[in-house]
Protein backbone atom coordinates (compact mmCIF):
# COMPACT_ATOMS: atom_id res chain seq x y z
CA UNK A 1 0.00 0.00 0.00
CA UNK A 2 1.27 3.47 -0.80
CA UNK A 3 2.27 5.92 1.93
CA UNK A 4 -0.53 8.32 1.00
CA UNK A 5 -3.13 5.55 1.42
CA UNK A 6 -1.84 4.73 4.92
CA UNK A 7 -2.16 8.44 5.77
CA UNK A 8 -5.76 8.53 4.57
CA UNK A 9 -6.65 5.40 6.50
CA UNK A 10 -4.97 6.77 9.60
CA UNK A 11 -6.99 9.97 9.44
CA UNK A 12 -10.24 8.06 8.92
CA UNK A 13 -9.54 5.70 11.81
CA UNK A 14 -8.56 8.59 14.05
CA UNK A 15 -11.72 10.48 13.17
CA UNK A 16 -13.86 7.42 13.83
CA UNK A 17 -12.18 6.80 17.21
CA UNK A 18 -12.67 10.41 18.32
CA UNK A 19 -16.31 10.49 17.19
CA UNK A 20 -16.99 7.12 18.80
CA UNK A 21 -15.39 8.26 22.06
CA UNK A 22 -17.61 11.35 22.07
CA UNK A 23 -20.70 9.24 21.44
CA UNK A 24 -19.82 6.87 24.28
CA UNK A 25 -19.12 9.71 26.71
CA UNK A 26 -22.36 11.53 25.95
CA UNK A 27 -24.38 8.31 26.02
CA UNK A 28 -23.08 7.52 29.53
CA UNK A 29 -24.16 10.98 30.74
CA UNK A 30 -27.52 10.78 28.97
CA UNK A 31 -28.55 7.37 30.33
CA UNK A 32 -29.29 8.45 33.95
CA UNK A 33 -31.12 11.52 32.67
CA UNK A 34 -33.52 9.32 30.71
CA UNK A 35 -34.19 7.08 33.71
CA UNK A 36 -35.02 9.94 36.08
CA UNK A 37 -37.29 12.00 33.79
CA UNK A 38 -40.73 11.56 32.28
CA UNK A 39 -41.13 11.89 28.52
CA UNK A 40 -39.43 10.80 25.34
CA UNK A 41 -35.67 11.46 25.28
CA UNK A 42 -34.90 13.85 22.42
CA UNK A 43 -31.47 14.54 20.94
CA UNK A 44 -30.90 18.00 19.40
CA UNK A 45 -28.15 17.71 16.80
CA UNK A 46 -26.27 20.89 15.77
CA UNK A 47 -27.74 22.03 12.47
CA UNK A 48 -25.76 21.95 9.26
CA UNK A 49 -24.75 25.55 8.60
CA UNK A 50 -23.27 27.70 5.87
CA UNK A 51 -22.46 31.43 5.92
CA UNK A 52 -23.79 31.76 9.50
CA UNK A 53 -21.63 33.46 12.13
CA UNK A 54 -20.76 31.73 15.41
CA UNK A 55 -22.83 34.00 17.68
CA UNK A 56 -25.99 33.61 15.59
CA UNK A 57 -25.51 29.83 15.37
CA UNK A 58 -24.71 29.25 19.06
CA UNK A 59 -27.71 31.34 20.13
CA UNK A 60 -30.02 29.49 17.75
CA UNK A 61 -28.86 26.06 18.97
CA UNK A 62 -29.17 27.12 22.62
CA UNK A 63 -32.77 28.24 22.05
CA UNK A 64 -33.52 25.03 20.11
CA UNK A 65 -32.30 22.96 23.07
CA UNK A 66 -34.31 25.09 25.50
CA UNK A 67 -37.43 24.63 23.38
CA UNK A 68 -37.03 20.85 23.41
CA UNK A 69 -36.21 20.82 27.15
CA UNK A 70 -39.39 22.61 28.17
CA UNK A 71 -41.77 20.80 25.85
CA UNK A 72 -44.39 18.50 27.36
CA UNK A 73 -43.79 14.88 26.48
CA UNK A 74 -40.07 15.27 25.87
CA UNK A 75 -36.92 15.23 27.96
CA UNK A 76 -33.94 16.80 26.24
CA UNK A 77 -30.58 15.06 26.38
CA UNK A 78 -27.44 17.06 27.08
CA UNK A 79 -26.28 19.30 24.21
CA UNK A 80 -23.73 17.85 21.80
CA UNK A 81 -21.06 19.67 19.80
CA UNK A 82 -20.40 17.05 17.13
CA UNK A 83 -21.93 17.61 13.70
CA UNK A 84 -24.43 15.20 12.20
CA UNK A 85 -21.81 14.15 9.66
CA UNK A 86 -19.29 13.18 12.36
CA UNK A 87 -21.82 11.31 14.46
CA UNK A 88 -23.13 9.36 11.49
CA UNK A 89 -19.56 8.52 10.51
CA UNK A 90 -19.01 7.12 14.01
CA UNK A 91 -21.86 4.64 13.55
CA UNK A 92 -20.64 3.68 10.08
CA UNK A 93 -23.01 5.79 7.95
CA UNK A 94 -22.47 8.39 5.26
CA UNK A 95 -26.03 9.79 5.09
CA UNK A 96 -29.00 10.41 7.37
CA UNK A 97 -31.17 7.49 6.27
CA UNK A 98 -33.83 6.12 8.62
CA UNK A 99 -31.64 3.15 9.56
CA UNK A 100 -28.64 5.37 10.28
CA UNK A 101 -30.68 7.81 12.37
CA UNK A 102 -32.03 4.88 14.38
CA UNK A 103 -28.48 3.67 15.02
CA UNK A 104 -27.50 7.18 16.10
CA UNK A 105 -30.49 7.45 18.43
CA UNK A 106 -29.63 4.08 19.98
CA UNK A 107 -26.09 5.32 20.70
CA UNK A 108 -27.56 8.17 22.76
CA UNK A 109 -30.52 6.25 24.21
CA UNK A 110 -32.73 8.75 22.40
CA UNK A 111 -36.18 8.17 20.94
CA UNK A 112 -36.45 11.40 18.93
CA UNK A 113 -33.89 13.44 16.98
CA UNK A 114 -34.22 17.12 16.01
CA UNK A 115 -31.84 18.10 13.21
CA UNK A 116 -31.78 20.51 10.30
CA UNK A 117 -29.96 23.16 8.27
CA UNK A 118 -29.49 26.92 8.50
CA UNK A 119 -27.89 28.69 5.55
CA UNK A 120 -27.33 32.40 5.07
CA UNK A 121 -26.92 34.81 2.17
CA UNK A 122 -26.96 38.58 1.62
CA UNK A 123 -30.78 38.71 1.84
CA UNK A 124 -31.51 36.48 4.84
CA UNK A 125 -31.48 32.82 5.89
CA UNK A 126 -32.89 29.46 4.86
CA UNK A 127 -34.07 27.12 7.64
CA UNK A 128 -34.88 23.42 7.36
CA UNK A 129 -36.08 21.32 10.32
CA UNK A 130 -36.59 17.56 10.75
CA UNK A 131 -38.08 15.71 13.74
CA UNK A 132 -37.32 11.99 13.52
CA UNK A 133 -39.04 9.24 15.54
CA UNK A 134 -36.36 6.60 16.08
CA UNK A 135 -38.82 4.03 17.43
CA UNK A 136 -41.08 4.15 14.40
CA UNK A 137 -38.33 4.95 11.92
CA UNK A 138 -40.10 7.88 10.29
CA UNK A 139 -40.62 11.66 10.49
CA UNK A 140 -42.97 13.05 13.14
CA UNK A 141 -43.71 16.18 11.11
CA UNK A 142 -46.03 15.72 8.15
CA UNK A 143 -43.28 17.28 6.08
CA UNK A 144 -39.97 18.97 6.93
CA UNK A 145 -40.15 22.67 7.74
CA UNK A 146 -38.46 24.55 4.92
CA UNK A 147 -38.62 28.34 5.09
CA UNK A 148 -36.67 31.33 3.87
CA UNK A 149 -36.62 34.57 5.86
CA UNK A 150 -35.58 37.95 4.55
CA UNK A 151 -34.51 40.85 6.76
CA UNK A 152 -31.63 43.29 7.08
CA UNK A 153 -31.64 42.75 10.85
CA UNK A 154 -29.87 39.68 12.24
CA UNK A 155 -31.91 39.82 15.44
CA UNK A 156 -35.13 39.70 13.42
CA UNK A 157 -33.83 36.67 11.45
CA UNK A 158 -32.86 34.94 14.69
CA UNK A 159 -36.31 35.47 16.20
CA UNK A 160 -37.96 34.17 13.03
CA UNK A 161 -35.91 30.97 13.16
CA UNK A 162 -36.56 30.47 16.89
CA UNK A 163 -40.29 30.90 16.29
CA UNK A 164 -40.30 28.08 13.73
CA UNK A 165 -38.48 25.75 16.15
CA UNK A 166 -40.85 26.62 19.03
CA UNK A 167 -43.88 25.98 16.83
CA UNK A 168 -42.83 22.31 16.67
CA UNK A 169 -43.03 21.92 20.45
CA UNK A 170 -45.62 24.58 21.42
CA UNK A 171 -48.05 24.76 18.50
CA UNK A 172 -50.46 27.71 18.38
CA UNK A 173 -49.58 29.25 21.74
CA UNK A 174 -48.71 32.79 20.60
CA UNK A 175 -50.35 35.97 21.90
CA UNK A 176 -50.40 39.38 20.24
CA UNK A 177 -52.08 42.65 21.24
CA UNK A 178 -52.47 45.26 18.49
CA UNK A 179 -53.21 48.93 19.25
CA UNK A 180 -53.50 51.89 16.91
CA UNK A 181 -52.69 55.57 17.17
CA UNK A 182 -56.09 56.26 15.56
CA UNK A 183 -59.53 55.16 16.86
CA UNK A 184 -61.70 52.72 14.91
CA UNK A 185 -58.78 51.24 12.99
CA UNK A 186 -59.32 47.97 11.12
CA UNK A 187 -56.74 45.32 12.00
CA UNK A 188 -55.71 42.74 9.38
CA UNK A 189 -53.62 39.75 10.49
CA UNK A 190 -51.88 37.66 7.82
CA UNK A 191 -54.33 38.96 5.22
CA UNK A 192 -57.52 38.36 7.24
CA UNK A 193 -59.51 41.03 9.09
CA UNK A 194 -59.48 40.17 12.81
CA UNK A 195 -61.00 43.17 14.52
CA UNK A 196 -61.34 46.91 15.03
CA UNK A 197 -59.84 49.19 17.68
CA UNK A 198 -63.14 51.01 18.35
CA UNK A 199 -63.28 49.45 21.83
CA UNK A 200 -59.53 49.35 22.42
CA UNK A 201 -56.60 47.20 21.32
CA UNK A 202 -57.28 43.92 19.51
CA UNK A 203 -55.94 40.88 21.39
CA UNK A 204 -55.21 37.65 19.52
CA UNK A 205 -54.42 34.31 21.19
CA UNK A 206 -53.69 30.78 20.02
CA UNK A 207 -51.47 32.07 17.23
CA UNK A 208 -48.97 30.06 15.23
CA UNK A 209 -45.50 30.94 16.45
CA UNK A 210 -43.10 32.68 14.10
CA UNK A 211 -43.39 35.44 11.50
CA UNK A 212 -46.66 37.29 10.76
CA UNK A 213 -47.75 40.48 9.01
CA UNK A 214 -50.11 42.94 10.66
CA UNK A 215 -51.86 45.80 8.86
CA UNK A 216 -53.65 48.77 10.43
CA UNK A 217 -56.19 50.34 8.04
CA UNK A 218 -58.01 53.64 8.55
CA UNK A 219 -59.85 54.96 5.51
CA UNK A 220 -57.29 55.33 2.72
CA UNK A 221 -54.38 55.15 5.15
CA UNK A 222 -52.72 51.90 6.13
CA UNK A 223 -49.42 50.61 7.46
CA UNK A 224 -48.02 47.09 7.57
CA UNK A 225 -45.50 45.66 10.00
CA UNK A 226 -43.77 42.29 10.36
CA UNK A 227 -43.93 40.80 13.86
CA UNK A 228 -42.46 37.60 15.28
CA UNK A 229 -44.58 35.79 17.90
CA UNK A 230 -42.71 33.55 20.35
CA UNK A 231 -43.79 31.11 23.06
CA UNK A 232 -44.32 32.54 26.58
CA UNK A 233 -43.62 36.04 25.26
CA UNK A 234 -46.86 37.96 24.61
CA UNK A 235 -46.24 40.72 22.07
CA UNK A 236 -47.80 44.20 22.03
CA UNK A 237 -47.45 46.59 19.10
CA UNK A 238 -48.90 49.98 18.23
CA UNK A 239 -49.40 50.91 14.59
CA UNK A 240 -49.90 54.28 12.96
CA UNK A 241 -52.17 53.93 9.90
CA UNK A 242 -50.77 57.14 8.45
CA UNK A 243 -47.18 55.91 8.49
CA UNK A 244 -47.57 54.16 5.12
CA UNK A 245 -44.73 51.77 5.87
CA UNK A 246 -44.28 48.24 4.59
CA UNK A 247 -42.15 45.56 6.26
CA UNK A 248 -40.31 45.58 9.58
CA UNK A 249 -40.38 49.04 11.14
CA UNK A 250 -36.93 49.95 12.37
CA UNK A 251 -36.42 53.58 13.34
CA UNK A 252 -38.85 55.47 11.12
CA UNK A 253 -39.71 55.79 7.45
CA UNK A 254 -37.35 58.44 6.10
CA UNK A 255 -35.78 57.91 2.72
CA UNK A 256 -32.07 57.38 2.24
CA UNK A 257 -29.80 60.15 3.52
CA UNK A 258 -27.19 61.46 1.10
CA UNK A 259 -25.49 63.90 3.47
CA UNK A 260 -22.07 62.26 3.14
CA UNK A 261 -22.18 62.16 -0.64
CA UNK A 262 -23.36 65.77 -0.91
CA UNK A 263 -20.53 66.95 1.35
CA UNK A 264 -18.04 65.01 -0.79
CA UNK A 265 -19.48 66.51 -3.98
CA UNK A 266 -19.26 70.00 -2.45
CA UNK A 267 -15.64 69.56 -1.41
CA UNK A 268 -14.80 68.07 -4.81
CA UNK A 269 -16.47 70.88 -6.73
CA UNK A 270 -14.79 73.59 -4.66
CA UNK A 271 -11.38 71.92 -5.09
CA UNK A 272 -11.80 71.60 -8.85
CA UNK A 273 -12.79 75.27 -9.16
CA UNK A 274 -9.79 76.29 -7.06
CA UNK A 275 -7.56 74.11 -9.24
CA UNK A 276 -8.93 75.87 -12.32
CA UNK A 277 -8.10 79.28 -10.79
CA UNK A 278 -4.53 78.15 -10.13
CA UNK A 279 -4.38 76.91 -13.72
CA UNK A 280 -5.10 80.45 -14.91
CA UNK A 281 -2.41 81.81 -12.60
CA UNK A 282 0.11 79.24 -13.87
CA UNK A 283 -0.59 80.29 -17.46
CA UNK A 284 -0.11 83.93 -16.47
CA UNK A 285 3.29 83.17 -14.89
CA UNK A 286 4.35 81.19 -17.96
CA UNK A 287 3.40 84.10 -20.17
CA UNK A 288 5.48 86.41 -17.96
CA UNK A 289 8.50 84.09 -18.24
CA UNK A 290 8.17 84.13 -22.04
CA UNK A 291 7.94 87.95 -22.06
CA UNK A 292 11.05 88.33 -19.91
CA UNK A 293 12.94 85.86 -22.10
CA UNK A 294 12.45 88.15 -25.12
CA UNK A 295 14.11 91.13 -23.41
CA UNK A 296 17.74 91.96 -24.06
CA UNK A 297 19.39 91.66 -21.68
CA UNK A 298 17.20 89.13 -19.85
CA UNK A 299 16.46 90.22 -16.25
CA UNK A 300 17.57 86.97 -14.64
CA UNK A 301 16.28 87.71 -11.14
CA UNK A 302 12.80 88.52 -12.39
CA UNK A 303 12.77 85.50 -14.71
CA UNK A 304 13.88 83.16 -11.93
CA UNK A 305 11.23 84.58 -9.61
CA UNK A 306 8.55 84.06 -12.26
CA UNK A 307 9.72 80.51 -12.89
CA UNK A 308 9.71 79.70 -9.16
CA UNK A 309 6.27 81.22 -8.71
CA UNK A 310 4.95 79.24 -11.69
CA UNK A 311 6.30 75.98 -10.26
CA UNK A 312 4.65 76.64 -6.89
CA UNK A 313 1.33 77.55 -8.48
CA UNK A 314 1.48 74.44 -10.70
CA UNK A 315 2.06 72.23 -7.65
CA UNK A 316 -0.95 73.74 -5.88
CA UNK A 317 -2.98 73.36 -9.06
CA UNK A 318 -2.34 69.60 -9.13
CA UNK A 319 -3.09 69.27 -5.41
CA UNK A 320 -6.53 70.84 -5.80
CA UNK A 321 -7.29 68.95 -9.00
CA UNK A 322 -6.36 65.66 -7.30
CA UNK A 323 -8.40 66.41 -4.16
CA UNK A 324 -11.34 67.44 -6.32
CA UNK A 325 -11.27 64.32 -8.47
CA UNK A 326 -10.97 62.02 -5.43
CA UNK A 327 -13.77 63.81 -3.56
CA UNK A 328 -16.15 63.63 -6.53
CA UNK A 329 -15.40 59.90 -6.95
CA UNK A 330 -15.94 59.31 -3.23
CA UNK A 331 -19.22 61.21 -3.40
CA UNK A 332 -20.49 58.95 -6.19
CA UNK A 333 -19.58 55.84 -4.19
CA UNK A 334 -21.22 57.20 -1.03
CA UNK A 335 -24.37 58.08 -2.95
CA UNK A 336 -24.89 54.42 -3.92
CA UNK A 337 -23.95 53.16 -0.45
CA UNK A 338 -26.45 55.53 1.17
CA UNK A 339 -29.30 54.08 -0.88
CA UNK A 340 -29.41 56.09 -4.10
CA UNK A 341 -31.07 54.30 -6.97
CA UNK A 342 -29.15 56.18 -9.60
CA UNK A 343 -26.17 58.50 -9.45
CA UNK A 344 -26.71 62.26 -9.63
CA UNK A 345 -25.27 64.36 -12.44
CA UNK A 346 -21.53 64.68 -11.84
CA UNK A 347 -19.13 67.08 -13.54
CA UNK A 348 -15.37 66.80 -13.48
CA UNK A 349 -12.16 68.54 -14.54
CA UNK A 350 -9.20 66.24 -15.18
CA UNK A 351 -5.70 67.77 -15.38
CA UNK A 352 -3.13 66.58 -17.92
CA UNK A 353 0.38 67.48 -19.08
CA UNK A 354 1.30 68.60 -22.60
CA UNK A 355 4.69 69.43 -24.15
CA UNK A 356 3.80 73.11 -23.78
CA UNK A 357 2.54 73.01 -20.22
CA UNK A 358 -0.57 71.88 -18.39
CA UNK A 359 -4.18 71.50 -19.45
CA UNK A 360 -7.46 70.08 -18.29
CA UNK A 361 -10.37 68.15 -19.76
CA UNK A 362 -13.93 68.88 -18.68
CA UNK A 363 -16.71 66.31 -18.72
CA UNK A 364 -19.47 64.75 -16.70
CA UNK A 365 -22.10 62.04 -16.35
CA UNK A 366 -25.82 62.82 -16.29
Q: What is the CATH number of the domain that holds 183?
A: 2.60.40.10
Per the domain annotation, does 248 fall within a domain? no
Handedness of CA 148, 153, 154, 155 (dihedral sign): negative
For range 168-193, the mean pLDDT: 96
pLDDT, tens digit (0-9, with 9 covering 90-100), for 250-279: 333 344 556 777 787 788 778 778 878 877
pLDDT reported for residue 363: 52
Given a cut of 50, whether residue 248 has pLDDT beyond it is: no
Domain identity same for 19 and 124 = yes
> Which range, 53-62, 237-246, 284-293, has the best average confidence (pLDDT)?
53-62
Domain identity same for 131 and 19 = yes
Handedness of CA 134, 138, 139, 144 (dihedral sign): positive
pLDDT reported for residue 1: 43
Domain identity same for 56 and 146 = yes
Query: Which residue range forms the structural domain that includes residue 190?
Result: 174-243
pLDDT reported for residue 227: 96
Domain identity same for 194 and 266 = no
Sorted by sequence, the CB contacts under 8 Å of residue 36 that are 6+ apart come out as none
For range 151-159, the mean pLDDT: 94
Per the domain annotation, does 101 fall within a domain? yes
The Cα 112–Cα 135 span in angstroms is 8
pLDDT reported for residue 15: 53
Total number of domains in the chain: 3
pLDDT, tens digit (0-9, with 9 covering 90-100), for 81-90: 999 999 999 9
Domain identity same for 265 and 199 = no
Domain identity same for 320 and 263 = yes
Three-state DSSP state, 332: helix
Per the domain annotation, does 4 fall within a domain? no
Residue that wins the pLDDT comparison between 240 and 287: 240
Domain identity same for 158 and 183 = no
Domain identity same for 149 and 284 = no
Domain identity same for 17 and 159 = yes
Domain identity same for 221 and 268 = no
Backbone φ and ψ of 236, nearest 5°: -135, 125
Domain identity same for 90 and 35 = yes
Sorted by sequence, the CB contacts under 8 Å of residue 356 that are 6+ apart come out as none
pLDDT band with cut points at 50, 70 and 90 for residue 336: low
Amino acid sequence: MRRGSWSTVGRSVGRALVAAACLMAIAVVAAPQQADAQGRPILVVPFERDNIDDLFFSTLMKRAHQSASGAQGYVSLDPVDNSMEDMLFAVGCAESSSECLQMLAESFSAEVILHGKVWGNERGIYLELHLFDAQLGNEILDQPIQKSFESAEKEMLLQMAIGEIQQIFYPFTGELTIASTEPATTIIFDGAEVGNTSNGPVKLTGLKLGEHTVTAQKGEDETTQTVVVLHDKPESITLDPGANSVGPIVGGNEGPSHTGSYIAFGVGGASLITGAIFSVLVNAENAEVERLAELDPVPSSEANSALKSGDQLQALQFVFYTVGAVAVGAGAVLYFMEGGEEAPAVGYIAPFLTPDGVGASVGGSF
